[in-house]
Chains A and B, each alone.
Chain A
Amino acid sequence: MLDYVVRRLMLGLVTLFGVAVIVFFVMRVLPGDAAVMLSGAGAGAVSEKELAGVRAKLGLDRPLPAQFADWAGNVAVLELGTSLRTGNPVIADVARRFPYTLQIVVMAMLIAVLIGVPVGVLSAAYAGSWGDQILRALSIGGLAAPSFWVGLLLILLLVWLFQWSAPLMWEPFWVSPWKSVTQLFWPALAVGLRQLALIARMTRSIMLEVLGEDYIRTARAKGLSEWSVVMGHGLRNGLLPVVTLIGFEFSALFGGLIVTETVFSVPGLGQYVVTALLDRDYPAAQGIVLILAGIVVLGNLSVDLLYGWLDPRTRVQVTEK
């Protein structure tokens, strides 16, 4: 087990490093003259002399590996530079926006599990019925739908039915928990819908398997409450696949989150990264992309560790991924 944990941690660190290299490459090397980019959308034309000054100040005339080491060193202590657009230190903007994104992610996963599992169970229990057929069709169709379209349709529905409109001020969780949960419910639903469909489908097939198993028949014969046996075995069998699924889909969840935050105008990290990238606010964009990718790496790592803890097989031997 310890061996597994250590290996996973090492892998995670190496991946983080790789992520940093890629972010650096895409955002510093690819755009061409980084001095022009990083000195920003300044007023008036920037003269060659000023550009040279910017290059010297930002260390852009040094060899690339040295630049990378500089930048990586700064990032490690969370020194992410200053946003060209807002003029704030990037880390301050991130700190302000992070709670909303975190809350949406957590709520989306909760919604996916808390609604997806029961839907899957019911679907299995009433397999073949028209309700089940409709749900299956919906989930297959739902997986083909772009999440921002779902978000748009959701907004349309909300406006039409409840005259809903986006909140002017998004309450942070620690200020007013109930209000913030209700405010973020709809974006979280839009984000989590895909996971919900996948979890429901998977729960359904697991439950169908369980329902057909021998020990169920035995339990029935013994007169045990079928329900408790089914649920017990089903949940135990389903736990690992659900965790794996969440791990698999964690990165996709963030992708959906980026667009959904824009659709609902939630002031989170997703909306920030979109505006930063589109405005060529490279200092901010670099930092945010790295942070988001880093979160995904950490998330995957956590799921890996959780998986390792849950699956007894990994405690004995290390499985090669």
Chain B
Amino acid sequence: MTPPLTAVTVAAASTPSAARQASRLRALGRMAREQPLGAMGAIVLAVMAIVAIGAPYIAPFDPTQGDAAALSSPPNAGNWLGTDAFGRDNLSRLIYGARISLLVGLGASLLGVVVGAALGIVTAYRGGWADVVTQRVMDALLAFPMLLLALAMAAVLGPSLPNVIVALAMPIVPRAARIARSSVLVLKAATFIEAARATGCSDLRIMLRHVLPNTFAPLLVIATAYLGLAIIQEAALDYLGAGIQEPDSSWGLMMSGSATSLALTAPWIVIFPGLAICLTVLASNLLGDAIRDLLDPKLLGK
């Protein structure tokens, strides 16, 4: 079984660097044409990322400072998306909220996948009782509704950004571990590893050079799938009050508190953050679907 990405890199390794770049771009372009929805998702996410990084330059107003003269005002020339109950510009809060959502989403997703994959690979490779115990612990972790586990961790650790990332990574760890583990088991069965051992490779080397690249593809799919879920859960945590706190901005926070009281007369306060979440999660879901489609047929050798 040859993972597609290593195939690409192996092929490219034999050509000079400029040509390597060109062929990579061509491959990318081909993939984009094959999966237009996924490409759109990738573009949306990239735009979000740019907006998030450039927030201090892009946001028209300070998201924590309100204008007492313009409370809960509807979208207008000065405030494109209107203002909230404190007179803060919704667009600016949305832009800064993108920072939180993407940071937490990516952070939790990556952390969860990395830790989960490491656990899954190491214990599956070693086997024995360590593997059995880890498997049971992962099973138990999977039994928790994602939000419940994240909520309990966030409540216990306290409401700060790093804690929220850790709390949201927790439910992702067992899922990533499972995927990694099944990859390892397949490889073990394929005597791939026996051969490597026979040539005198150390365990660590085997795990890094042979196991990891093979599990990379499905892990990437999981990472994008859980990026969307992490963003939604993060918003839920903020909404409940266990995550980011006022007066900082986050999409989930924008929909809680006074917002619900004013939602009837000023529905835009509640609608826009939700749309932002929808859009971002949709983009990551489409991207994840596209990546899965791209990798799947190749994996099955179609």
Touch between chains A and B, by CB atoms below 8 Å: yes
Q: How many whole Å from A52's CB to the nearest CB in chain B?
A: 23
Known A152-B260, A251-B145, A254-B148; contact A145-B278, beta-carbon cutoff 8 A: yes
B152 cross-chain contacts in A, Cβ below 8 A? 23, 26-27, 277, 285, 289
Q: 1/0 contact trace for B131-145 toward A, CB 8 Å? A: 000001101111111
B264 within 8 A of A: yes
Assembly CA distance A141 to B141 (angstroms): 28
The answer to whether the Cβ of B122 comes within 8 Å of any Cβ in the partner chain is: no
Contact with A along B150-183 (1 / 0, CB 8 A): 0111011100000000000000000000000000
The verdict on A152 contacting B263 (CB below 8 Å), with A251-B145, A259-B240, A296-B143 known, is yes
Q: Mark A142-161, 1 if CB is under 8 A from B, else 0.
A: 01111111001101100110
Interface positions, chain A 16-37, Cβ under 8 Å from B, are: 16-19, 21-23, 26-27, 30-31
Q: How far is the CB of B231 from chain A (nearest CB, A)?
A: 9
**Bound Cα distance from A152 to B257, whole angstroms:** 12
**A252 interface residue per 8 A CB criterion:** yes
Chain A interface mostly: helix
A259 touches B155 (CB 8 A): no
The reply to whether B240 and A146 contact each other, CB–CB distance below 8 Å, is: no
User: Is A262 located at the chain interface by the 8 A CB criterion?
Assistant: yes
Smallest CB gap from B138: residue in A? A18
Would you list which residues of chain B between 234 and 253 have a CB under 8 Å from chain A?
A: 235-236, 239-242, 252
Q: Interface digits, B272-302 against A, CB 8 Å rule (1 contact, 0 not)?
A: 0110011101100100000000000000000
- State whether the Cβ of B120 lies closer than 8 Å to any Cβ in chain A: no
* B111 at the A interface (CB under 8 A): no
A64 at the interface (CB under 8 A from B): no
Chain B minimum-CB-distance residue to A159: B264
How close is B18's CB to chain A, nearest CB, in angstroms? 40
A153–B255 alpha-carbon span in the complex (Å) = 11
A85 / chain B contacts, CB cutoff of 8 Å: none
Contacts A18-B136, A30-B157, A149-B274 known; A143 to B145 CB distance under 8 Å? no
Which of B139, B264, B279: most chain A Cβ within 10 A? B139
| Interface of B: prevailing SS | helix
Q: Is the CB of B140 within 8 A of A289?
A: no
Most buried by A among B152, B233, B263: B152
Contact of B242 among A18, A30, A144, A277 (CB under 8 A): A277
Name the residue on B nearest A292 (C-beta): B148
A26 touches B285 (CB 8 A): no
How close is A41's CB to chain B, nearest CB, in angstroms?
Answer: 14
Q: What is the chain A residue whose CB lies nearest that of B284?
A: A144
Chain B residues with a Cβ under 8 A of chain A? 136-137, 139-148, 151-153, 155-157, 228, 232-233, 235-236, 239-242, 252, 255, 260, 263-264, 267, 270-271, 273-274, 277-279, 281-282, 285
A interface, CB within 8 angstroms of B: 11, 14-19, 21-23, 26-27, 30-31, 140-141, 143-149, 152-153, 155-156, 159-160, 251-256, 258-259, 262, 273-274, 277-278, 280, 285, 289, 292-293, 296-297, 300
A-B contact pairs, 29 of them (CB 8 A): A15-B140, A18-B136, A18-B141, A19-B144, A21-B137, A22-B144, A140-B282, A141-B278, A146-B252, A146-B274, A148-B235, A148-B239, A148-B255, A149-B270, A153-B274, A251-B145, A252-B145, A254-B145, A255-B233, A256-B147, A258-B147, A258-B148, A262-B240, A274-B151, A289-B148, A289-B152, A292-B148, A293-B145, A296-B143
